Amino acid sequence: MEAAGKRYIVHPSRKDEIKIWYLSDLHLMSKACAEDVLDRDLKIIKNDPNSFWIGGGDYCDFIGRMDNRFDPDCVADWVSVSDLGKLGDVGYKKVRKLFWKIKHKCLGLLLGNHEKKHNLFQEQNDRQVWLCQELGVPNLQYCSLFDVIFIRKPRSKIALLEGNIERDRTRYSVRFFCHHGAGFATTPGGKLNKLIQFMNSFKADVYMCGHVHDQVGRREPLMGANAACDKIVAYERVGVISGSYLKTYAQDTTTYGEQRGYRPVSLGAVWVAIKPETGEIRGQI
């Protein structure tokens, strides 16, 4: 687990609403990857000045010919036979290319179970480090806590991710807990239980995870009192599970999800919207 420090987002207006996207479970290299949906979301993030993002892991399938899950019919058409001997190199360069145009909006990249397994058995644990260094973004490992500090500067034209500006006084802070996700739940309730478990175990304002290939949201209040302890106050936290870009059922290919009879799931990323001026936080699924 990483205590990953602070990020600073400067924005111009009291009316600004900043969106933090959670791009998880892309599963590039699979024929069932909805690359058109991914391209759509990447373009939205790139073109929306108030959108920023976190990478949630499982960027590539990384299922090679020596893996017992390997099925040649499920490999993307753009992956060549020779690529199968260098999946790590091909996959990570593909991810770097996709993320390059939005790297300046990235709050950090998590490691997913597909990367973790591939890197472990291929003795390539430096690939995550390489990707983060290439993009110039923080390495969040598998699980991370970090703060996002929102600073209003009327002279700035658009919202920007900047370096350390600790001395500025006009600020609003939100703590994020991010985890790639865990578990094998296939029912909506089972997936939600894992999110609630994270929300009950770690102290944060926003919780983001993926892995279970579904879009789920939760508001979880905590009761407390104000600083004078003379008024009851509810502190609301927001949790979201991001959807995947891997289709459960795809034309002309039989995925492992189809073979196991999994539910079809919503495709695409989720985001949380934060209004620094009012402290309002809402999740979009």
- pLDDT recorded at residue 231: 94
CB atoms inside a 10 Å sphere around CB 183: 14
Contact 216, 285 (CB under 8 A): yes
DSSP lists the bridge partners of residue 109 as 55, 139
- pLDDT recorded at residue 183: 85
Sequence letter at residue 237: R
Q: Is 182 exposed, middle or buried (0-12, 13-18, 19+ CB in 10 A)?
A: middle
CA atoms within 13 A on the CB side of 136: 9
Angle of helix 113-121 versus helix 87-99 axis, rounded to 10: 140
- pLDDT recorded at residue 219: 92
Rounded Cα distance between 1 and 163, Å, is 23
CB atoms inside a 10 Å sphere around CB 103: 14
- Summarize pLDDT for 238-247 with one digit per residue, the tens: 999 999 999 9
- Domain count within the chain: 1
Estimate to the nearest angstrom the gap between the alpha carbon of 99 and the chain centroid. 13
- pLDDT recorded at residue 166: 60
Which regions of the chain does DSSP assign to beta strands (E)? 2-11, 18-23, 51-55, 106-110, 139-141, 143-152, 160-162, 171-179, 206-209, 216-225, 232-241, 270-275, 280-284
- pLDDT recorded at residue 227: 87
Per-residue pLDDT of the chain in tens (285 residues, 90 and over written 9): 999 999 999 999 999 999 999 999 999 999 999 999 999 999 999 999 999 999 999 999 888 877 778 888 888 999 998 888 888 899 999 999 999 999 999 999 999 998 888 888 877 778 899 999 999 999 999 999 999 999 998 888 899 998 777 665 568 999 999 999 998 888 888 889 999 999 999 999 999 999 998 899 999 888 999 889 999 998 889 999 999 999 999 888 888 888 888 888 889 999 999 999 999 999 987
- Summarize pLDDT for 101-151 with one digit per residue, the tens: 999 999 999 999 988 888 888 777 788 999 999 999 999 999 999 999 999
Secondary structure letter of residue 205 according to DSSP: S
Range of the domain at 71: 2-284
CATH number of the CATH domain containing 193: 3.60.21.10
